[in-house]
Structure formats: C-alpha cells, structure tokens
Structure 1
Amino acid sequence: MNSLTRWVRGPWTNPTASGLLIALAAIFSFTEGVNPFSDGHAEGAGALPAALIASDLLMVAAAVVAGTPILIKAVRALMTKMIAIDLLVSVAAIGAVVIGQYWEAAAVTFLFAIGHALEARTMKKTRSALAELVAVAPDVAVVMRDGKQVEIPAAGVEPDETVLVKNGAKVPVDGVVIGGTGALDESSITGESIPVEKGEGDEVFAGTISGGGFLQVRATGTGADTTLARIIHRVEEAQDAKAATQTFMEKFSAWYTPGIIVLALVAGLVTGDAVLALTLLVIGCPGALVVSIPVAIVAGIGRGAKDGILIKGGEYLETSARISAVALDKTGTLTEGKPYLTDVTVLDPALDRSDVLGWAARAEAGSEHPLARPIIDAAEAEGLPVHGLPERTEPVVGMGVIATLDGQRVSVGNLPLLTVEGIADDSGAATEVDRLAGLGRTPMVVTLDSRVIGVVAVADRIRSDAQEMIARLHDAGVQKVVMLTGDTQRVADAVAAQVGLDEVRAQLLPEDKLTMVAQLKADGYTVAMVGDGVNDAPALATADIGVAMGAAGTGVAIETADIALMQDDLLKLPQAVDLARRTVNVMRQNIAIALITVVLLLAGVFAGGVTMAIGMLVHEASVLLVIVNAMRLMRRNEDQHSAGPAPASDARELQTAGAGPLS
C-alpha cells in the first residue's frame, strides 16, 4: 500500500475534503461581497446570485462529505440499541440544512470529523509502544542444519535447534547461549538501554539486538512462545481493557445523550426556536468526556511498556494508583538471593581459619541444604581441598548435618545440634552465634570429634537499591511497606533496620503470607504483593495487585501477574506506582475539562451569544485539550530516573539468604 492509498483510507480524508469545499464556498461568497459564515444571504427577497447558490451547495456538500461517516456510525449504534454521540451531531446537521443554516451544518460536521481524526491519530501514537515491540520482532533466523548455516523465517525455528546470532542481528528466539560471547541490547524486553554481556549459559530473548560478538544459541522458545510475543499479546490486551472509570463514563454517556435530545426537544417546543434546539444538540455532545479515559489509559500503559513495566489493563492501572500498602518477599526481592560466606570464627586455639573452613566445607559436601553451597564455594576459592564426598552423611532436620571424614566425626549446624552430639562445653560458641545472628547472618557451629572448633556464617546481600525503593514508595504515597519472610525474626529485624521497613512478619509459611495479605486488606489497605510467583503464589493472588519482578523470559509471570516488572530492578516498583497515579490524575483532569466545557457552553446557549458553530469549535478545542493532556503521559518522568542506586554499605551486605539451620 503506497502513501497516497494510506492517506485516502486514513482518518484525515473526510475532514480535508470537507475543509476544501468550505474554503471554495467562502471564495464564491466573497465574490458577491457576502460573509459566508452567516446566513444573511439566505434571508433577502428575490433570486440569489449564482455564486451564492454555488456557495450554499458547496457548504451542503461539505456537510455531506464530513457528516456521512458520522451518520453511518449513528445508524449502526441505533441498530444495536445505543444512542451515540454521533446521533446528536447527525440530527443537528440535518436540521441545520433543513432550516437553511448551511454554514452551521458544514461547520458542525467538519469540526466533529476533525475531532475523530485527532482521536484516531492520538490513539495510534499512544499505541506506539506496541508498534515498536512489533517492529523489533525478528523476521529471519540463521540456524545450523546438517552442518550448514541456513537462513529461514524466524517462526520456522524448531525447539533445541542451534541459532547463530551475528553482530547487528536480531535474536530470533528465546534461548540459552551454548557458545561464543556478545553484547545484546535488551531494551525491547526490559526497558534497560545499557547492553548486556552474554556468555555460555546465559539466557537471551527474541527481539533483542546484538551489538557485537557472535553467539550460538540453543532455542528454548520460538514463534508465539517467545517472551517478546507474550509481551506484545499482553500489551495489546491491556490497552483494550477498560478501567472502572471508563465503564462508568460509558454508562453515563448512555443516559446523558438521550437526556440532551429530550432537553433540546423541550427547549425547541417551548421557545419555538429550532436553531436553539439544534444548537443544544451540538453543544451537548460529550465527545471530550468519552475520549478522556481511553486515551489516558492507552498512553499510561504504553509508557509503562516502554519502561519495561507491563500493566494488565485499565482496571489494574486504576487499582495501582490506590496502593497504600506493599508487601515484599525477602529472598530474591529485597536481597539478591545469592548467599555467600561472611565469617569464619576460630574457637580452638590449636587450629586456624583454613582448618575450620576446610572441615565445614568437606562436611557440607554431602548436604542438600541450600546454605552448603556458599561454604563449599568459599573453601574452593581459598584453595582448600573439598574433593569427594564424606564417608557418611547424616542430615539432622532443623539442626544441620553430621559427617564422617577420614574416620573423624564432624558436625555443622545450630546450637541444639551440640546437645544431640552430647557436647557440654561450647567454647564460647553461643556468644559468637548470638553476635552474628544479631547482625542478620546465619551462623553455624562446627565441631570435630565432639569438641567445638569454630563458627561459620553465611549471608545474602541486600540489594543496593532496596532502601531507595522503600523511600520512593513512601514518596509516591504508599503508607506501609511490609516484609513477609520465612526467615527467623532476628534476621528479618536486621534486614528491616537496614532498609527502613515499616513492619516485619517473620517465620511465615506460604499460607501465612496469604493470611497477612488478607489482614492488610481487612484493615482497609489496597495491597500490592511483590514475590517470585512460586512460593508466594497464594499471597500474590489474594493481593489487590500482584507484582512479578524480573519477569523477562518468565511466561507464567507475564500472563498471570497484574503488573510484571521485566527488569530485575526494585526501583521499577515505585516507578509503576507513580505512573499509575499520574495516569489517574490525568483521567480526573480530563473529566473535569470535559464537564466544565459542556456546562459553560450550555449556559452560554441559554444566555445567548453562543452559536452552533462557535459552540462546536469550543467543544472540539476541549477534545484537543483532553488529548494533549493525556499525551503528557508518553513523556518519561525524569524524577523517577534521575537518582541511581544507593551505594551498598558493609553492614548491608551481611544479610541472610533464607531460613538457615538456626531456628
């Protein structure tokens, strides 16, 4: 389709043609010295000059050209038992032609057609986020088949095939790097413009663009099963979904439109002034009222999509603007979810640090406990031998592990494990355990042949931007930020002290988190729950808004979360709340603009001085103002991007990853 064909089929064809006819009509009138924008020439006696007849015919033609699509929409709406705004304009324009008000008929339809064109153009522009996502969808892929590079359509890639991604190419599939290195621009998925380095074992997403290097990728998601395809589907659905306010306004318009028709009919019958009745029909059009909500919703959701914030629809956008309490999981949300060794305390003077860490690591080599890995990794990093498995491993549920190494008995666990081992003298372990636990770390006592030799502790770093995120949530109007965790109370309190949480609930099972979210709702809060979507699924479902963070590549999170933050960035959460509040504020401003305009115009008609054409001009100006106001949402709010992550303090790095052996 060429440019001319697109323009002819576009929204500006009718208003442009109508405007040209009005301009020609004006030229003919001016040749006779008559003001074309008044009806004076129609009131004189005798035959009209040919030029004025031509002017009137051109005005009628302009009204027909601009008004025909409006009349068709009105008739279609009536066939579905709906009285639409288009009906008001159609009746007013036909009535104006009947009583000889040709300029008014042309002006009303022309201005209304311009309003429709502006609305269509704006909706297209506000959907630009979706258009950009579609544009980055890859068309072709280079795959290895029978030892050869073959170029095929991206949708034709089979799961587990090897795809080659060269410099400057789009990644055609979701997959895992199995060879090579490179830098990918992932802004289309996460909203983050900084290229991400990729190497063997890293995930890649369809639609991202290689900025250098060469990658071999094993395809895990193809065609409609890619993250990009799911995002496009979600944004498309979200922009079409209606908010509660929009639904209310549509119901309001369904009653308002017949009301204006009755008002115009009564006014015409009482005053005997047909022009007054027709003017009321035109002035009373709630066009700005109807467009005020959807244009704001589409703009807000589009802005969020560009920033890597997927909002499920208008209803959830409105609910997010009312969020007054945020419940956060700890591990993987406030913390990085990657425990590491923080302390090795030697309590046996005959041994040193390497001895204590070495025995602990060798004993943990046979343990399935999640905190075994950081101890083993630390020992290997220090060059200590941690090869092979213990001769015997005995896990003690809730306490730790007991292992036999080279004929010697080694235990790693909490203080109650000493009782199990029959060790009465803790050599000061209890004091050290208490000190480390107070710092928010998970300490484990190490024993060798029934004597305490030391204490090791692991922790998880609090995210560097956690404190700033909570501060920004408070700035955005959130009253309470609560942490819900399965960890111990002392560890949870230590985390809360570091990041500024309002409330902490610790040692919770998944069903306990659901109960806490339900309690917050019962207390009158509008609750957003942020979690990983697995253990926290019940609480996420119970909350008013469920938020999945770091959802890139997680199809379940994208489809089920009310808000999906594509990037693993805590500051996206307050950004999402701020965007929702700004969008709802724009909705309210637009409603106020539309209602005030209609009230003032109706008052002006009854007071005199507001004609049909002037009223329609002011009315369309209000539509334009509403659209421009909504378009402000498409601009990035720099206040939400100016401050970088807060630097991590030493204390902030000493936090626990999860419920360790201490109880």
Structure 2
Amino acid sequence: MNKFHRWVHGNWSVPVTSGALIAISFAIKWLGEGAANIRVGPQWWLDAGAHATHTGGAFPLGDVFMLAAAVVAGYGIVAKAIRALTARVVGIDLLVSVAAIGAVIVGNFWEAAAVTFLFAIGHALEAATLNKTRSALAELVAVAPDSAVVMRDGEQQEIPAGQVRMGEVVLVKNGAKVPVDGKVVAGTGALDEASITGESIPVEKVEGDEVFAGTVSRGGFLQVVATGIGADTTLARIIHRVEEAQDAKAKTQAFIDRFSRWYTPAVMVLALVAGLVSGDVVLALTLLVIGCPGALVISIPVAIVAGIGRAARNGILIKGGEYLETSAKISAVAVDKTGTLTEGRPELTDVVVLDPALDRREVLRWAAAAESGSEHPLARPILDTAHAEGVGPQGVPAAVTPVPGKGIVSEVDGRRVLIGNAPLLEQYGIAETAEASRAAQGLAAAGRTPMIVAVDDTAIGVVAVADQIRQDAPEMVARLHRAGVEKVVMLTGDTRLVAEAVGKATGIDEIHASLLPEDKLDVVTQLQRVGHTVAMVGDGVNDAPALATANIGVAMGAAGSAVAVETADIALMGDNLLKLPEGIGLAKRTVSVMRQNIAIALVTVVLLLAGVFAGGVTMSVGMLVHEASVLVVIVNAMRLLRKTAESTATPRSGRTSTPAAQLMNA
C-alpha cells in the first residue's frame, strides 16, 4: 500500500496514466469501424470542430479516452498556472494550459493530449535529472552519521549522533563514521576525509589532531572529545552552505528571470495577433506551445547546481552562482607567501657568529632569551632550537619593545639585546654593522629570513630561519596559468630577497615584498584598476583587508574554521593548493555550459517558430522538440558532474627540487 501511495504521488504517475489512456484510444481506433464508431456524449462536442463529421449524436469512444488523457496530464498544469496567476506570474504552465484548452475547444483532442502528455513526461524527466545534478548534496547528507558510541558512567553506550553532548568522549572504531567534530585525546587511526576535503587518501590521526563529523575510520581506534555537535559540525555547515549556494542566483540567471517575465506575455500577444490576422486558431495555439521558454529558464540554474555540487564533492565550497560566475573571470591571483606558498612552519637554519669571543651556542642563547617575550611567528623556531641544544631561556626578559617592520628590543640580565634587521641597529646607534649586513644579505639571497643579534652596542651574530616551499606550489602556479589566469602575484611582509627566492622556485609572475596589511590592499586595488578580476588567497587575519577588497576571497584549509566556511567566497576545505586552479577551471567550464544552454534554448525556439510559419510543425511536434531541448540542456549541465583529470590528480610527492628550493632546504 505504501509503494502504491508513493507511486501515485510520484513524478511518473501522471504521464504513465495519461500515456495508457492515449494507447487505449489508439487501440480502439485500430480495432475497426465497429469499435471506433461507438459514440457517447452530447452533440455540441461534435459541432465544435473537426470531429463534427460524425453523423450520430454521440461522441467517438476513442476520443473519450484521448480527452481523458488530456485531462489527466493537464489538470496539474492548469492548477499550477492558476496558482502562478494569483501570484501575478505568467509562466510556461499558462502557455501550455491555454494551448491545450484551446485544442480541446476546437476538437483537436490528439493535440491536446499529446501536448499535455509530453509536457508531463518532460517534467518527470526534468525532476529525475535535476535530482541527479543535486547528487553531490545528497551524498553529503548521506555521509552524516546516524549513531555514536560514547563513554558514559564508565561504559560504552551507542546513542543517536544528535544526542552526543559537548565535551563527551566518543569512540571511533575501524569502519565507523566519526559522529562529531572533535580532538583526538587517545589512540591512533586513519580517517577517510573525502566527504570534507575531497581527498581520497586516508589521513593519519594521533593525539591532539582535529577530526570532523562524517569522516570514516579506515583503521585504528580513536578516542575523541566532542567540540562540535549537530548543526555546529563542519559537515553540517558544508551542507548548509551548499544548499544556499545552489539556490543563489548568478547575474546571468537574474537577467534570464527578468527576460522570461516579459518574454512569456510577449509570446501570448504574438499568438493572439497571429490568430486574429490569419484566422487560424490552431496556428495561434501552436505558437503558444513552441514559444515555451522552458529550456531557457532552466539553462542557468541547472548548470549552477551541477557546478557547485561538483565543486563541493571535491572539497571546494563556492558561495553561490554569482561568485561562481565571477570566478570564471579571474585573471589575476594574489597569494600570501607564508602558509600558502610555503608550509608555514619555519625552522632555524643558520647561526652565523660575528664576535670571535663567542660561539654558536652563545649567539643562540642571547637570541632565544630576547625572543622569549615575543609573539612573532619567527620566535618559535629560535626557541625550539635553543631548548633542543640546551641553551633555552629560563623565564622572560625584563622588558620587550617591538619595533614594527624592524624587530624587537629586549632587556635580558640587565643588558640590551636587539634582534632584527640592519635598520633596527642603525636606529639604536650601533656602529660597525657592515659585516652583519653582508651576512644577512647572503642568507636572504639563499631564501632565508635573517635576523641580526646585537648585545648592547655590538653585533654578535646573525640567525636565519627558512620556511619550506610547499611541494604543490609550482604546480599550482602552472595550473593557474593553464586555467587562463594571466598573472599570479605574491604578497608578503618578508624581505625582497627571500620573496624573490620563493618566487623563482614557484614561477610567480610578480612579487611584492615587505608589505604591511594595508599595502596588500593597495596592490589588490591596483590590479583591479588595470582591469583584472582578482582572487586573493590568504589566512583571513592579516590579509583581511585584501581579502575583502578582492573580487573573490579564497580561504585555504577551511575545514576547521566555521568563519571561513560561512564567509569566504571560495573555501578550500583541504590544504591542497591544487584545489585553487581546479575550482577556477570548474567555474570556467560551468559558465561555458551556461552559455551553451542559452544558445540551445534560443536556437530551438527560433527554429520552431520558423517551422510553424513555414508549415509542418504541429503542437505535438513543437512540444516534443521543446521537451527534448529541455533534456538536452539538463544533460549538458550534467557533464559538469564528471571528474576531470586535474580533479583526480594528487600533489607530487617529495620536496620541490628547483635550485632556489634547494638553497632554502640546505
């Protein structure tokens, strides 16, 4: 009973029933004169049109079934048209309704049945194929976990995933879905994070690592403390974002919607004028049918749904149709160096001793003592190395004074310690800095970030840190160029020499170094001023002004950031740089499909109009071609759901081997 109920209310019940009635009508006529001439009904039906040739005062039985087929298929169409009219919307359903009712009035029951039947079957096929274009969202919903195993009162309890409380310890066993966002507090394991990041290779998880709801354990046993549950999980935010994005309209779609509001009434006026001038009612009704802008109306949204769905499946969240359309126009990409082109985990590479009375350990000890009160990212590798070599500082300096753009000044054991660049030493009146400057320049030329260390009035050494270039950075730049991006620009606060070394290793087109956050904004504005559509890739903190000003702001590694998922124009869920050119390439393909669909829709209408006036195109033929064009548009958009070679490619293993990278890694 439930199956029958679902079928009755499903997409196919109406076209199947209508089709069966049409088949019965033809069967009755094919049986012969005796069956075909069984007539029922009042005389006025016969006098209304072509069927008046019958001599009896009854209605042919075959036509009864044909009329029933038109009523079954057309009832829902007429109901929709009336609802639309009450909302002051003149849509496709009204055109089909008027044409079908008119065909019935003039006695052309076959045309009425054919038009409504084809429209109904087209609607069912559209619904089925549109569901396919939304398959990415369905897949995301499907990976949402149903249950969780938690520790309560010292025992394992299996409960619905929605009942897990914040702070509870969840057990993730081999093959199970992670039910919450959280941190690993014990155990090791490998998780398939494809549903979040689009990467199919399992990721090893150990104590302290983040995990996300909807990921699947491929081995091991993890104990996870819940930090995000229910609607606060990354997976839930992704699903919400994709739902919104697929419904958001592109500028082209908004134009098509406005166009349709004028186009549909115009078709009705054209049909009325043609009927009055020619005196041919059938011609007017045929114009109504073939003028349906169905393929045109659906051409944009179906492409957007498919494109955004494909991107989401690959771990690329695009905020909506407008942003997808803008992404297809990107001609310049601005990237931050640290954490984007480089790993973002600098290490101490050099300790150059300038004072012959000291050794490496003494220079490192003074540098670490000065940096122990600093919050600068480059302080951490110095401190880590000092602790590893047994010269780590105890406590913090008596005073620490940051000097923006130059370094810091600390008071350690009653002595003044400076660590920074040559202008810092000059500002504090330290002479004899030529040797320190030469050493710093040599290190910078090798791609390292140098810091001169001075105690009181003497430069005692130079320490240098370096960040590894990401293995996929050169390939990302190359793929961006292949995707049609004219210029890839590096924006960094690091020194010119360091930036040039990274730029040479990665193939960057243009380098802007020693920038403050407001300077990055100026560069982005300048690129826009000369005509570029700019995408900015950054961490969203010190790059915030530039990200907000760029045409498209891109957040990397957004899986752990609720803010990035909700606010970024494009959020790359994983930490794979190659997702950026993949996303831009997908946006360009989507816009190309949108244009193809518009062309298919318009050419179909023009050819059908020409066919009507030239003769040979009937209402049923027009509706058949119209529905075929709608399906062609949908199938064309569904091509976007296929995986491309670049979407399945993985970053090359191993460090980049370019000369500059070798210098940095030396």
Relative to the length of structure 1, the TM-score reads 0.91
C-alpha change, 1:654 and 1:220, in structure 2 (3 Å) is farther
Aligned to 1:587: 594
User: Which deviations, in whole Å up to 9, do the C-alpha atoms of 1:208-260 show, x marking residues without a partner?
Assistant: 11112111111111111111111111111111111111111111111111111
User: Which deviations, in whole Å up to 9, do the C-alpha atoms of 1:59-118 show, x marking residues without a partner?
Assistant: 111111111111111111111111111111111111111112111111111111111112
C-alpha separation in 2, matches of 1:591 and 1:399? 58
C-alpha separation in 1, matches of 2:630 and 2:408? 69
Name the % identity: 68
Aligned to 1:77: 84
User: Which deviations, in whole Å up to 9, do the C-alpha atoms of 1:303-342 show, x marking residues without a partner?
Assistant: 0110001111111111111112222122212221111112
C-alpha change, 1:419 and 1:274, in structure 2 (3 Å) is closer
User: Which deviations, in whole Å up to 9, do the C-alpha atoms of 1:124-150 show, x marking residues without a partner?
Assistant: 111111111111112222222232323
1:495-644 correspondence to structure 2 within 5 Å: 495-642=502-649, 644=651
1:326 to 312, 320, 333: 333
Q: Secondary structure at the match of 1:214?
A: strand
Contact 1:441-1:459 within 8 A present in 2 as well: yes
Aligned to 2:474: 467
Q: Secondary structure at the match of 2:165?
A: coil
Aligned to 1:128: 135
Structure 1 residue 195: Cα displacement? 0.8
Task: Return 535-544 or 112-121, whichever deviates more.
Answer: 535-544
Aligned to 1:203: 210
Contact 1:19-1:110 within 8 A present in 2 as well: yes
Aligned to 1:386: 392
Structure 1 residue 590: Cα displacement? 0.6
User: Which deviations, in whole Å up to 9, do the C-alpha atoms of 1:280-314 show, x marking residues without a partner?
Assistant: 11111111111111111100111011000111111
C-alpha change, 1:240 and 1:413, in structure 2 (3 Å) is closer
User: Which deviations, in whole Å up to 9, do the C-alpha atoms of 1:403-442 show, x marking residues without a partner?
Assistant: 647x998764433565678765558333221111122311
1:317 to 311, 317, 324: 324
| 1:46 is aligned to 2:52 | no
Contact 1:268-1:277 within 8 A present in 2 as well: yes
C-alpha separation in 1, matches of 2:502 and 2:363? 28
Aligned to 1:300: 307
1:236-315 correspondence to structure 2 within 5 Å: 236-315=243-322
Aligned to 1:648: 656
Task: Return 646-655 or 172-181, whichever deviates more.
Answer: 646-655
C-alpha separation in 2, matches of 1:392 and 1:255? 75
Q: Secondary structure at the match of 1:552?
A: helix
C-alpha change, 1:77 and 1:391, in structure 2 (3 Å) is closer
Relative to the length of structure 2, the TM-score reads 0.91
Aligned to 2:67: 60
Q: Secondary structure at the match of 1:178?
A: strand
C-alpha separation in 1, matches of 2:397 and 2:71? 94
C-alpha separation in 2, matches of 1:616 and 1:644? 50
Q: Residue type of the partner of 2:15?
A: P
Contact 1:347-1:427 within 8 A present in 2 as well: no
User: Which deviations, in whole Å up to 9, do the C-alpha atoms of 1:173-211 show, x marking residues without a partner?
Assistant: 111111111111111111111111111110111111111
C-alpha separation in 1, matches of 2:565 and 2:280? 59
C-alpha separation in 2, matches of 1:3 and 1:300? 34
1:187-198 correspondence to structure 2 within 5 Å: 187-198=194-205
Structure 1 residue 643: Cα displacement? 6.4
C-alpha change, 1:474 and 1:410, in structure 2 (3 Å) is same
Contact 1:427-1:452 within 8 A present in 2 as well: no
Contact 2:449-2:495 within 8 A present in 1 as well: no
Aligned to 2:15: 15
Q: Residue type of the partner of 1:596?
A: V
Aligned to 1:223: 230
C-alpha change, 1:19 and 1:426, in structure 2 (3 Å) is same
Q: Residue type of the partner of 2:380?
A: R
Contact 1:461-1:653 within 8 A present in 2 as well: no
Q: Residue type of the partner of 2:660?
A: A
C-alpha separation in 1, matches of 2:227 and 2:143? 19
Q: Secondary structure at the match of 2:90?
A: coil
Contact 1:264-1:278 within 8 A present in 2 as well: yes
CA-based RMSD: 2.8
C-alpha separation in 1, matches of 2:515 and 2:453? 28
C-alpha separation in 2, matches of 1:630 and 1:620? 16
Aligned to 2:465: 458
C-alpha separation in 2, matches of 1:378 and 1:251? 65
| 1:443 is aligned to 2:450 | yes
Across the two proteins, how many residue pairs are aligned to each other? Answer: 650
Task: Return 603-612 or 341-350, whichever deviates more.
Answer: 341-350
| 1:494 is aligned to 2:492 | no
C-alpha change, 1:402 and 1:417, in structure 2 (3 Å) is farther
C-alpha change, 1:413 and 1:45, in structure 2 (3 Å) is closer
C-alpha change, 1:326 and 1:3, in structure 2 (3 Å) is farther
C-alpha separation in 2, matches of 1:128 and 1:318? 21
